[in-house]
Amino acid sequence: MRIAAIDIGTNSVHMIVVQVRPDRSFEVVDREKEMVRLGAGGLGGRALTEAATASALQALSKFRRLAESHDVDEIVGAATSAVREADNGRDFLDAILDRTGIRVRVISGAEEAKLIHRAAVYGVDVADGPAVVIDIGGGSVELTRGTAARIHVAHSAKIGVIRLTEQFVRTDPIVDRDVRRMTDYVSDEISAVVDRIVKLGFERVIGTSGTILSLGALAVGSGRAVGSDALRNRRIPAKQIRRVRRELSGMTLADRLRIPGLDPRRADLAVAGAIVLDTILKRLGARDLTLCDLALREGLALDYIRRNRAQIANIERYPDVRRRSVFELAERCSYARDHSRQVARLALELFDQTQPAHRLDGRAREWLEYAALLHDIGVHISHGRHHKHSYYLVKNGDLRGFEPEEVEVMALVTRYHRRGQPKRSHDGYGQLGSGARRTVRTLAAIVRVAESLDRSHQHSVASLDIVPGAQDYLVRLKPDGDTELEVWAAQRSAAPLAKALRRVIRFEVAAGGARTGARKARPKVRGRVHRTAAAPVEAAADPAGVPAPDAAAATGRIH
């Protein structure tokens, strides 16, 4: 399975595409990032700006195309403080859904902190004891304390780098007075949670996010750019972060833009980031910081994997989204697995061997298989009218990957597999085009016979072989047990198929097969019936004399 996870942050919009491994770990197969400054001017309850939302929507549209190019099975998205606080945040989420089809949820600060912690302890070994995780974003800072298995403290503080820069940075370079004011403000905001963490104790401090990785690169760069691989899981002495803070605070923006290894798009926010990180490390009394390149987006992927193990297993069993959604619906409705698969198998054998008469295409064959698998799910509601309940459940079962008319065809096939015949006055059927109506009639007739051939639910028909004649089809059954009930039921149900194929339908048990058994009393059946089990049995409705369909017969395509 492949998942795309999107983090709509205050400063940046990130996406990763991951391949889920059999052990439920993952590997990143692609990643993308855009610095859109969504929170610029939009924090503290103000509106997201038109320019920022336009940039974010453009980035997300690109992300959607990238995800589709990787054939992802699911896209999960979360928005953080900028959207949480903006008075037009809901409008922005609606615009994302309209433009891209991606449904994004707003997460709380505490939930954001927990997701980041899960990602950090996934990427960094914390077996030696509890760890503190720090993530510095544009609008907020997340602090957690916990192990790989449990999070004991999760806190979000409104001291992100965009927020602090807008509030405290008034000169270039920043003056000492404003450095002190920002430091005191940050210290006040984190004092309670940091004191609690210190009291509980910890073994290491992990730093995630672009801001911290950027500062870590400066701390080890020695005047040269440092790649992300060289930073992963690297321990940085706290005193090196303090040095970077002093150097950045004394530089102008123009000077910072020339620093190797510092992303130019972060240069104006780097001072606030350094002050926040240094202040937190000081209050914690931390000796060093372990860098981690996993953050919220990886946390979203891990959380999805944790909550959807059954669905992921289904995706691995059925990589095709159409087939998977059919089996998911069947399993939700507690379908009779073995019977349904037997009916589907026999239906496909009937379809394939009568194709010269019905001339339906491969897509109709697919609809037949899925309808046969789902034909009895209405029993989940009640048996008496289960064919009608099956219709409702298929039509409203959230079958992904299918067009609405395809769902309608499959639902109608389940509707007519048992009783009654399609009528133009019936909802759904009457609205279809003539070609689709013919497809429904033919497929429903096939399912009706296939279902009869497992009337006992004992799977006593191993296979079937159809011998075509000038005006008939002889269905020769290879038995795997007592098939008397199946022959009787198939004989009663064959009239719609005989009409659809314009052929007499006869059944016989193949010579040398298992005996069907003798019964004194047999139900009365219209039409000519040969009483010996090995002899042919004609369909209840004999369409003899009706010519076979010509080359212009309709196909299974919907019109």
Residue 116: inside a domain: no
Query: What is the phi/psi pair of residue 468, to 5°?
Result: -80, 140
pLDDT per residue as tens digits for the range 192-239: 999 999 999 999 999 998 899 999 999 987 555 555 667 888 999 999
What CATH number does the domain containing 203 carry?
Answer: 3.30.420.150
Three-state secondary structure along 203-268?
CEEEEECHHHHHHHHHHHHCCCCCCHHHHCCCEEEHHHHHHHHHHHHCCCHHHHHCCCCCCHHHCC
Whether residues 312 and 323 share a domain: the answer is: no
At residue 201, what is the residue type? G
pLDDT over threshold 70, residue 547: no
For strand 74-79 and strand 104-106, is the pairing parallel, antiparallel, or unpaired? Answer: parallel
Q: What is the pLDDT of residue 228?
A: 61
State whether 253 and 324 are in the same domain. Answer: no
Q: Which residue has the higher pLDDT, 368 or 529?
A: 368
The arithmetic mean of pLDDT across residues 59-87, rounded, is 94
Under 8 Å between Cβ of 219 and 243: yes
Are 145 and 197 members of one domain? Answer: yes
pLDDT tens-digit series, residues 15-57: 999 998 877 888 899 999 998 988 887 677 789 999 999 999 9
Q: Has residue 543 got a pLDDT over 50?
A: no
* Number of folded domains that form the chain: 3
Local structure of residue 124 (DSSP, 8 states): S
Report the C-alpha gap between 552 and 542 in whole angstroms.
24
Residues 357 and 381 in one domain: yes
Q: Rounded to an integer, what distance in angstroms lies between the CA atom of residue 37 and that of residue 19?
A: 29
Residues 471 and 352 in one domain: yes
- The 10s digit of each residue's pLDDT in 348-387 is 999 999 999 999 999 999 999 999 999 888 887 767 677 7
Confirm whether 119 is domain-assigned. no
Q: Which amino acid is at 555?
A: T
| 220 shares its domain with 96 | no
pLDDT in tens, 406-431: 999 999 999 988 777 888 778 778 88
Top pLDDT among 52 and 537 is at: 52
Mean pLDDT of 285-296: 94
- Position 127 scores a pLDDT of 83
Q: Which residue has the higher pLDDT, 328 or 450?
A: 450
- Helices (H), ranges, 361-494: 362-374, 386-395, 404-415, 434-452, 484-493
In this structure, the answer to whether residues 63 and 39 fall within a common structural domain is yes
Its sign, for the CA torsion 82, 88, 93, 95, is negative
Alpha helix (H) residue ranges in 308-374:
309-317, 321-332, 337-353, 355-358, 362-374
pLDDT of amino acid 559 = 34
Clarify whether residues 59 and 188 are in a common domain.
Answer: no
Specify whether 132 is located in the same domain as 8.
no
B/e letters for 289-311, b = 16+ CB within 10 Å, e = fewer, are bbbbbbbbbbbbbbbbbeebeeb
Asked whether the predicted pLDDT for residue 525 surpasses 60, the reply is no
Is pLDDT of 278 > 90?
A: yes
113 part of a folded domain: no
Q: State the CATH number of the domain containing residue 57.
A: 3.30.420.40
pLDDT of residue 403: 87
Residue % of the chain over a pLDDT of 70: 89
CA proximity to 322, closest of 361, 375, 369? 369
Dump strand ranges (E) for 416-536: 461-468, 472-479, 504-509
Q: Identify whether 74 is part of a domain.
A: yes
Let me know if 118 is exposed, middle or buried by CB neighbors in 10 A (0-12, 13-18, 19+). Answer: buried
Q: Give the pLDDT confidence of 455-468 residue by residue, as tens digits.
A: 999 999 999 999 99
Asked if 145 and 268 sit in the same domain, the reply is: yes
Instruction: Indicate whether 62 and 139 sit together in one domain.
Output: no
Question: What CATH number is attached to the domain comprising 331?
Answer: 1.10.3210.10
Tell me if 290 sits within 8 A of 203, measured CB to CB: no
- Residue 557 in any domain: the answer is no
Q: Does any domain span residue 216?
A: yes
Q: How confident is the model over 136-182, as pLDDT tens digits?
A: 999 999 999 999 889 999 999 999 999 999 999 999 999 999 999 99
Q: Is residue 456 part of a domain?
A: yes
Confidence at residue 549, expressed as pLDDT on a 0 to 100 scale: 35
User: What is the rounded CA–CA span in Å between residue 142 and residue 524?
Assistant: 77
pTM of the model: 0.66
SS3 475: strand
What is the total residue count of the chain?
559
Does some domain include residue 118? Answer: no
Q: Is 30 exposed, middle or buried (0-12, 13-18, 19+ CB in 10 A)?
A: middle
The amino acid present at 45, given as its one-letter code, is G
Provide the domain limits for residue 442: 318-538
**Residues 228 and 355 both lie in one domain:** no
CB distance 426 to 411 below 8 Å = no
User: Is residue 121 within 8 Å of residue 203, measured between CB atoms?
Assistant: no
- In the beta sheet, which residues pair with residue 53? none
